[in-house]
Amino acid sequence: MQSKVEICGVNTSNLEVLTAAETDELLRKSTKGDRNAREKLISGNLRLVLSVIQRFSGRGESMDDLFQIGCIGLMKSIDNFNVDLNVRFSTYAVPMIIGEIRRYLRDNSTIRVSRSMRDTAYRALQAKEAFVREHQREPTMEELAKQLDMPREEIVFALDAIVDPISLYEPVFEGTGDAVCIMDQVGDTKNTDEHWLEQIALREAIGGLTPREQRIVNLRFFEGRTQTEVAKEIHISQAQVSRLEKGALERIRRQI
Protein backbone atom coordinates (compact mmCIF):
# COMPACT_ATOMS: atom_id res chain seq x y z
CA MET A 1 0.00 0.00 0.00
CA GLN A 2 2.94 2.35 0.64
CA SER A 3 3.89 2.30 -3.07
CA LYS A 4 0.31 2.93 -4.18
CA VAL A 5 0.01 6.08 -6.32
CA GLU A 6 -3.35 7.06 -7.77
CA ILE A 7 -3.87 9.28 -10.79
CA CYS A 8 -7.36 9.94 -12.12
CA GLY A 9 -8.55 7.30 -9.68
CA VAL A 10 -6.27 4.65 -11.24
CA ASN A 11 -3.92 2.71 -8.96
CA THR A 12 -0.69 2.93 -10.97
CA SER A 13 0.94 0.11 -9.00
CA ASN A 14 -1.58 -2.34 -10.51
CA LEU A 15 -1.31 -1.29 -14.16
CA GLU A 16 -0.87 -4.27 -16.45
CA VAL A 17 1.81 -4.51 -19.10
CA LEU A 18 1.21 -6.28 -22.42
CA THR A 19 3.84 -8.33 -24.20
CA ALA A 20 4.75 -7.43 -27.78
CA ALA A 21 2.87 -10.50 -29.05
CA GLU A 22 -0.25 -9.63 -27.05
CA THR A 23 -0.11 -6.04 -28.30
CA ASP A 24 0.17 -7.14 -31.94
CA GLU A 25 -2.74 -9.56 -31.61
CA LEU A 26 -4.97 -6.99 -29.90
CA LEU A 27 -4.08 -4.34 -32.50
CA ARG A 28 -5.18 -6.62 -35.33
CA LYS A 29 -8.44 -7.38 -33.55
CA SER A 30 -9.01 -3.70 -32.77
CA THR A 31 -8.42 -2.77 -36.41
CA LYS A 32 -11.26 -5.13 -37.35
CA GLY A 33 -13.63 -3.38 -34.94
CA ASP A 34 -13.21 -5.47 -31.79
CA ARG A 35 -14.11 -2.99 -29.01
CA ASN A 36 -13.02 -5.36 -26.26
CA ALA A 37 -9.54 -5.63 -27.80
CA ARG A 38 -9.36 -1.82 -28.01
CA GLU A 39 -10.21 -1.49 -24.31
CA LYS A 40 -7.52 -4.05 -23.42
CA LEU A 41 -5.00 -2.11 -25.50
CA ILE A 42 -5.84 1.11 -23.66
CA SER A 43 -5.60 -0.41 -20.19
CA GLY A 44 -2.45 -2.33 -21.17
CA ASN A 45 -0.65 0.83 -22.28
CA LEU A 46 -1.50 3.21 -19.43
CA ARG A 47 2.03 2.77 -18.09
CA LEU A 48 3.26 4.18 -21.42
CA VAL A 49 1.09 7.27 -20.89
CA LEU A 50 2.35 7.54 -17.31
CA SER A 51 5.98 7.46 -18.43
CA VAL A 52 5.36 10.16 -21.06
CA ILE A 53 3.65 12.65 -18.73
CA GLN A 54 6.65 12.52 -16.36
CA ARG A 55 8.46 14.66 -18.97
CA PHE A 56 5.93 17.44 -18.36
CA SER A 57 6.01 17.44 -14.55
CA GLY A 58 7.03 20.63 -12.77
CA ARG A 59 5.11 22.93 -15.15
CA GLY A 60 2.31 23.67 -12.74
CA GLU A 61 -0.16 21.52 -14.67
CA SER A 62 -2.40 18.96 -13.00
CA MET A 63 -0.96 15.48 -13.54
CA ASP A 64 -4.52 14.14 -13.64
CA ASP A 65 -5.29 16.47 -16.57
CA LEU A 66 -2.09 15.52 -18.38
CA PHE A 67 -2.84 11.83 -17.84
CA GLN A 68 -6.31 12.20 -19.36
CA ILE A 69 -4.93 14.12 -22.35
CA GLY A 70 -2.22 11.48 -22.75
CA CYS A 71 -4.91 8.80 -22.83
CA ILE A 72 -6.59 10.66 -25.70
CA GLY A 73 -3.27 10.51 -27.57
CA LEU A 74 -3.03 6.80 -26.79
CA MET A 75 -6.52 6.15 -28.19
CA LYS A 76 -5.68 8.10 -31.35
CA SER A 77 -2.54 5.98 -31.70
CA ILE A 78 -4.55 2.76 -31.44
CA ASP A 79 -7.16 3.94 -33.94
CA ASN A 80 -4.60 5.16 -36.51
CA PHE A 81 -1.87 2.52 -36.18
CA ASN A 82 -1.04 0.60 -39.35
CA VAL A 83 -0.60 -3.06 -38.38
CA ASP A 84 0.84 -3.94 -41.80
CA LEU A 85 4.02 -1.92 -41.27
CA ASN A 86 6.94 -3.39 -39.34
CA VAL A 87 6.91 -0.76 -36.56
CA ARG A 88 6.54 -1.26 -32.81
CA PHE A 89 3.38 0.26 -31.40
CA SER A 90 5.23 2.20 -28.68
CA THR A 91 7.48 3.82 -31.32
CA TYR A 92 4.37 5.22 -32.97
CA ALA A 93 2.34 5.93 -29.82
CA VAL A 94 4.87 7.96 -27.82
CA PRO A 95 5.13 10.87 -30.34
CA MET A 96 1.33 10.87 -30.68
CA ILE A 97 0.86 11.09 -26.89
CA ILE A 98 3.51 13.82 -26.60
CA GLY A 99 1.89 15.74 -29.47
CA GLU A 100 -1.53 15.61 -27.82
CA ILE A 101 -0.13 16.91 -24.51
CA ARG A 102 1.83 19.69 -26.22
CA ARG A 103 -1.29 20.73 -28.13
CA TYR A 104 -3.18 20.95 -24.83
CA LEU A 105 -0.39 23.01 -23.25
CA ARG A 106 -0.26 25.35 -26.26
CA ASP A 107 -4.02 25.92 -26.23
CA ASN A 108 -3.86 26.79 -22.53
CA SER A 109 -0.79 29.02 -22.80
CA THR A 110 -0.96 32.64 -21.59
CA ILE A 111 1.27 33.75 -24.49
CA ARG A 112 -0.76 35.14 -27.40
CA VAL A 113 0.17 34.20 -30.97
CA SER A 114 -1.47 35.76 -34.03
CA ARG A 115 -4.42 33.81 -35.45
CA SER A 116 -2.84 33.42 -38.90
CA MET A 117 0.42 32.06 -37.47
CA ARG A 118 -1.48 29.71 -35.15
CA ASP A 119 -3.57 28.46 -38.10
CA THR A 120 -0.40 27.82 -40.10
CA ALA A 121 1.11 25.92 -37.18
CA TYR A 122 -2.01 23.78 -36.74
CA ARG A 123 -2.11 23.00 -40.46
CA ALA A 124 1.52 21.92 -40.23
CA LEU A 125 0.78 19.75 -37.19
CA GLN A 126 -2.18 18.10 -38.92
CA ALA A 127 -0.06 17.45 -42.01
CA LYS A 128 2.67 16.05 -39.78
CA GLU A 129 0.25 13.65 -38.07
CA ALA A 130 -1.13 12.51 -41.43
CA PHE A 131 2.42 11.91 -42.68
CA VAL A 132 3.28 9.89 -39.55
CA ARG A 133 0.15 7.74 -39.96
CA GLU A 134 1.06 6.98 -43.56
CA HIS A 135 4.82 6.55 -43.28
CA GLN A 136 5.29 5.67 -39.57
CA ARG A 137 7.96 8.36 -39.23
CA GLU A 138 8.11 12.11 -38.77
CA PRO A 139 8.48 14.26 -41.91
CA THR A 140 11.33 16.67 -42.54
CA MET A 141 10.59 20.39 -42.83
CA GLU A 142 11.16 20.15 -46.57
CA GLU A 143 8.54 17.40 -46.86
CA LEU A 144 6.07 19.45 -44.79
CA ALA A 145 6.69 22.54 -46.91
CA LYS A 146 6.10 20.56 -50.10
CA GLN A 147 2.92 18.97 -48.73
CA LEU A 148 1.48 22.34 -47.61
CA ASP A 149 2.86 24.24 -50.62
CA MET A 150 4.32 26.87 -48.31
CA PRO A 151 7.80 28.31 -47.75
CA ARG A 152 9.83 26.25 -45.30
CA GLU A 153 10.73 29.34 -43.25
CA GLU A 154 7.07 30.25 -42.74
CA ILE A 155 6.33 26.81 -41.31
CA VAL A 156 9.39 26.94 -39.04
CA PHE A 157 8.42 30.37 -37.67
CA ALA A 158 4.83 29.25 -37.05
CA LEU A 159 5.85 26.08 -35.23
CA ASP A 160 8.42 27.97 -33.16
CA ALA A 161 5.76 30.53 -32.17
CA ILE A 162 3.60 27.91 -30.46
CA VAL A 163 6.40 26.06 -28.67
CA ASP A 164 5.86 25.84 -24.93
CA PRO A 165 7.77 28.56 -23.01
CA ILE A 166 10.63 27.32 -20.83
CA SER A 167 11.40 28.69 -17.40
CA LEU A 168 14.78 30.41 -17.02
CA TYR A 169 15.17 28.37 -13.85
CA GLU A 170 14.72 25.02 -15.62
CA PRO A 171 17.89 22.94 -15.06
CA VAL A 172 19.87 21.88 -18.11
CA PHE A 173 22.57 20.05 -16.15
CA GLU A 174 22.65 18.54 -12.68
CA GLY A 175 25.96 17.15 -11.46
CA THR A 176 27.39 16.71 -8.00
CA GLY A 177 27.25 20.45 -7.32
CA ASP A 178 24.69 23.16 -8.01
CA ALA A 179 22.39 22.68 -10.99
CA VAL A 180 23.07 24.72 -14.13
CA CYS A 181 19.89 26.51 -15.26
CA ILE A 182 18.99 28.06 -18.61
CA MET A 183 19.41 31.50 -17.03
CA ASP A 184 23.07 30.67 -16.35
CA GLN A 185 23.64 30.21 -20.08
CA VAL A 186 21.88 33.39 -21.20
CA GLY A 187 24.08 36.44 -21.51
CA ASP A 188 25.67 39.02 -23.76
CA THR A 189 28.51 37.36 -25.64
CA LYS A 190 29.80 40.60 -27.14
CA ASN A 191 33.33 41.75 -26.48
CA THR A 192 32.55 43.89 -23.46
CA ASP A 193 35.34 44.80 -21.04
CA GLU A 194 33.63 42.88 -18.26
CA HIS A 195 33.34 39.73 -20.36
CA TRP A 196 36.97 40.07 -21.51
CA LEU A 197 38.25 40.45 -17.95
CA GLU A 198 36.17 37.49 -16.76
CA GLN A 199 37.70 35.30 -19.46
CA ILE A 200 41.21 36.34 -18.44
CA ALA A 201 40.43 35.64 -14.77
CA LEU A 202 38.98 32.23 -15.65
CA ARG A 203 42.01 31.26 -17.76
CA GLU A 204 44.36 32.32 -14.94
CA ALA A 205 42.33 30.39 -12.36
CA ILE A 206 42.34 27.23 -14.50
CA GLY A 207 46.05 27.70 -15.16
CA GLY A 208 46.67 27.45 -11.40
CA LEU A 209 45.24 23.92 -11.26
CA THR A 210 47.29 20.73 -11.50
CA PRO A 211 47.53 19.11 -14.97
CA ARG A 212 45.10 16.36 -13.90
CA GLU A 213 42.57 18.90 -12.57
CA GLN A 214 42.89 20.97 -15.75
CA ARG A 215 42.17 17.88 -17.84
CA ILE A 216 39.12 16.98 -15.73
CA VAL A 217 37.74 20.53 -15.96
CA ASN A 218 38.31 20.59 -19.72
CA LEU A 219 36.64 17.21 -20.29
CA ARG A 220 33.72 17.96 -17.97
CA PHE A 221 32.84 21.55 -18.81
CA PHE A 222 34.31 22.23 -22.26
CA GLU A 223 33.69 18.84 -23.88
CA GLY A 224 30.57 17.94 -21.93
CA ARG A 225 31.74 14.52 -20.69
CA THR A 226 30.11 12.78 -17.72
CA GLN A 227 32.13 11.93 -14.62
CA THR A 228 31.95 8.25 -15.56
CA GLU A 229 33.36 8.96 -19.04
CA VAL A 230 36.14 11.09 -17.57
CA ALA A 231 36.99 8.35 -15.05
CA LYS A 232 37.38 5.79 -17.85
CA GLU A 233 39.55 8.11 -19.94
CA ILE A 234 42.04 9.03 -17.22
CA HIS A 235 41.87 5.63 -15.47
CA ILE A 236 40.63 6.61 -12.01
CA SER A 237 37.36 6.00 -10.17
CA GLN A 238 34.26 8.15 -10.60
CA ALA A 239 34.49 9.06 -6.91
CA GLN A 240 38.02 10.40 -7.45
CA VAL A 241 36.84 12.44 -10.43
CA SER A 242 34.04 13.91 -8.31
CA ARG A 243 36.46 14.80 -5.50
CA LEU A 244 39.07 16.36 -7.81
CA GLU A 245 36.40 18.26 -9.74
CA LYS A 246 34.88 19.66 -6.58
CA GLY A 247 38.27 20.80 -5.29
CA ALA A 248 39.21 22.37 -8.63
CA LEU A 249 35.94 24.30 -8.88
CA GLU A 250 36.30 25.55 -5.33
CA ARG A 251 39.80 26.92 -6.04
CA ILE A 252 38.58 28.55 -9.26
CA ARG A 253 35.75 30.24 -7.37
CA ARG A 254 38.07 31.53 -4.69
CA GLN A 255 40.53 32.97 -7.21
CA ILE A 256 37.88 34.61 -9.39
What's the average pLDDT block by block, 10 residues per block, for the chain (256 residues)?
A: 52 75 90 90 88 78 86 90 84 87 74 72 86 83 89 84 63 59 58 58 81 89 85 90 89 79
pLDDT score for 180: 63
What domains can be seen in the chain, in order of their start residue? 1-108 (1.20.120.1810), 110-165 (1.10.10.10), 171-255 (1.10.10.10)
Query: pLDDT value at position 29?
Result: 92
Contact 122, 106 (CB under 8 A): no
| pTM value > 0.75 | no
- Asked whether 46 and 68 are in contact (CB, 8 A), the reply is no
Are the C-beta atoms of residues 113 and 161 closer than 8 Å to each other?
yes
pLDDT of residue 36: 92
3-state SS, residue 237: coil
Radius of gyration of the chain (CA): 24
Residues whose CB is less than 8 angstroms from the CB of residue 146 and which lie 6 or more positions away in sequence, other chains included? none
The pLDDT score that the predictor gives to residue 224 is 82
